[in-house]
A and B are shown apart, each in its own frame.
Chain A
C-alpha cells in the first residue's frame, strides 16, 4: 500500500461519509419543517458519486440530477454553501434561486443538478463537444438514473457523441426504481446494450464498491482524454430513502426486506470501512475520528445556514439575463 493510495482511500471514505451525513441532516431539516419544498436523498449511492468524482479533476465537468447532493459533495462542494442553498439563503451556491434540485458549483466543475429527468444529457455532451473543439483534455461525466434511459434525448446525444468521439462518460445510476416503479417495468432489454448499439463501449459495475467504480472510471477517463470516448457505465446501486423525503409509505412498491438487505449487506460505507481496517489503512479509532469531524462540519454548517439571511427581495429580477 503506497502512501498516495492511503490518502486517496481515506479521502474516498471521508467523501462517502460526508454525503451520508449531509443527507441525514437534510432529511432532518425536512422532517422538522425547516427546509422549503421536497428533496431527493442520495443515501445508499455514495460509492457511485465518490468513485467517479475521485477520478476527476476540478477541470473535469459533471452534470447532475434531481438526486444531486451526492454528486455535488463528491465534486468538492462545501457544506455551508450547500445547506444555505437548500434553505433558500443568499449565501447558497445559487444565491437561493436554485435550491436542492438546481444546485450547481461552478468552482468545482459541477454544471448543476437538473429537475428534468434526462435534461442534462445534452448539456454534458455539449460540454464534451466544447472540450474537443477547443483542444482541451477535460472529460465530462453525465450522471442520470435508470429512469432517464427512457428519454429520447439520450439516444440523440449518444449517437453524436459516438460519431464525433467526444470525451463524455454516461454514468447511469441504476438504483432499481424510477419513482414508484421498478426499472424492469419501464426499461425493456439491457441498459448497456443501448450504448453498445451506437458502438459505445459500455460497462456494468457494482455501484456499492467504491474501489471498483473508481478503478474503472480512472481507466475510462484516461482514455477519454486521449480521444477514445465516449463511454457508458451502468452502476448497480440502491437508494435507501423514498423517491423523495415525503415518500414514507412505500411498501406498495418496495418491500422492507429488500431495503433491509441492501442496507445491512451491501452498504458502500460499511463495506469500505471494513476493508480499510482489514488492510491496515486505518484503525477503528481513526475512522471514528473522521466520522466525528464530518458530523461536526455538518452540524456547524446547518446552524450557520439556519441563521443566514434570505436574499434581499431586490434580487428577484437579477440574473434573468447575463450582462
Chain B
C-alpha cells in the first residue's frame, strides 16, 4: 500500500469531503495561500477557491463563533485553529455555544462543525504552543474528540468528523505531520467510538492516545524481548470512548497503563483509569496506572521539556513493576 504523511492524509480527507459536499468550507488563519504554518492545507485554495477556503484575521473567538452560526444554518465548516493552545480563546464559542445548541433546543438545532487543531510538546515551542488540551474539551458534553495516531487514522477520522452532525474537535500531534503510514487509495471512514487494538498481548494493556501510541508500541517491543506481552490499544476517539474494547482487554491482561500527553491531573488518563477501576476491578491484579504529562507548564529548555512527557523507557519500567507485582506507590 502507498504511504503518505499525516499532513497529506488530512489534506486528502478534507479535499475529498469538499468535493463530495458543497456545504463544506474551511476557515482559519493563513489556511489559503500559505496552507497553514505546517503546510497541511496546501493546494486546497487552488482547487476550491477563496470562497471555500477563507483566510481569517487573528480573531479566533470571532471565526469559531461564525462557524457555529454557519453550521446551525446549513453549512459544514471546518475551522483551523493554528495551535491547540488557542483553544482557551475559543472556549465560550465551543463549549457554551456549539456544544449545547442541540440539547438546549430539544434536538432541533445541530452544529455540524469540525475544529481541527494540534497538540504535543518537545518541539521547543514553550508553554503557550505545546499544550495537549484534549481533556478540557472532552469534559464538555456535546463535543466529540478525535485523536489520530497516524496518517491512516487522521484521514479516516477527519472524514467521519466532517460528516458528523455534532461539533468535533480533532487534535493532531504537530510532531507527527511528516510521519508516513500506509493509507489506502480507496475511500474509507473510521467510525467514532471504535478503538483499535494495535498489538495483541496477554500480560498488560497499554491504552494510549495520539503520539503516545508510538511510545506504547516501542515500550511493548522492548518488553517483548524480556518475555512480557503487552497489548496496545488506541481509542482513536476519547468522546465517544469505546469502553467495551478497553474493558475486554483489561479483563484479559489484568493490568493496564493509560498514556496521554495531556497533564496527568484531572486528565484523559484519569478518566479512563477510573472507568477501568469501576468496571473491571475484580479482574485487576494491579492498580491501573496513569501516565500523562507532568503537571507543569511546558518548559522551553530542552533539558527540562523532555522529561515532562511519557517516554517508552518510562512506560516499560512501570510495566515491569506492575507485572512483577511490585508496588509503584507504596502504601
Contacts and interface: CB of A to CB of B under 8 A. Distances in A.
Interface of A: 36-38, 88-89, 94-102, 114-119, 147-148, 150-152, 178-181, 185-187, 252-253, 310-311, 313, 315-317, 320
B57 A96 contact: no
B300 A316 contact: no
27 contacts: A88-B302, A97-B297, A97-B301, A97-B304, A98-B126, A101-B128, A101-B129, A102-B128, A114-B128, A115-B126, A116-B86, A147-B57, A151-B59, A152-B59, A152-B61, A152-B62, A179-B30, A180-B33, A180-B34, A186-B57, A186-B58, A311-B304, A313-B303, A316-B294, A316-B296, A316-B299, A317-B296
Which 6 pairs show the lowest CB-CB distances between chains A and B? A99-B300, A88-B301, A37-B124, A150-B57, A96-B301, A310-B303
Given A101-B126, A115-B128, A179-B30, A148 B58 contact: yes
A37 B126 contact: yes
Contacts of A317: 294-296
A101 B300 CA distance: 9
A186 B60 CA distance: 13
Interface in B122-168: 123-129
Contact of B126 (A99, A147, A181): A99
A316 B304 contact: yes
Contacts of A310: 301-304
Given A253-B34, A315-B304, A97 B299 contact: yes
Given A37-B123, A150-B59, A320 B303 contact: no
B317 interface: no
B129 A99 contact: no
Interface in B271-305: 294-297, 299-304
Contact of A102 (B37, B126, B296): B126
Given A37-B124, A99-B300, A150-B62, 9 more contacts: A88-B302, A94-B300, A95-B301, A151-B58, A152-B59, A178-B57, A310-B304, A313-B303, A316-B307
Contacts of A102: 126-128, 300
B299 to A, nearest CB: 5
A115 B129 CA distance: 7
A117 B299 CA distance: 19
A253 B299 CA distance: 33
Nearest to B60: A151
Nearest to B57: A150
Nearest to B83: A115
A316 B308 contact: yes
B57 A97 contact: no
Contacts of A116: 85-86, 89, 128
B274 to A, nearest CB: 24
B175 to A, nearest CB: 12
A178 to B, nearest CB: 6
Nearest to B63: A150
A179 B33 CA distance: 12
Contacts of A98: 126-127, 300
Query: Which residue, B33, B58, B128, has most C-beta atoms of chain A within 10 A?
Result: B58
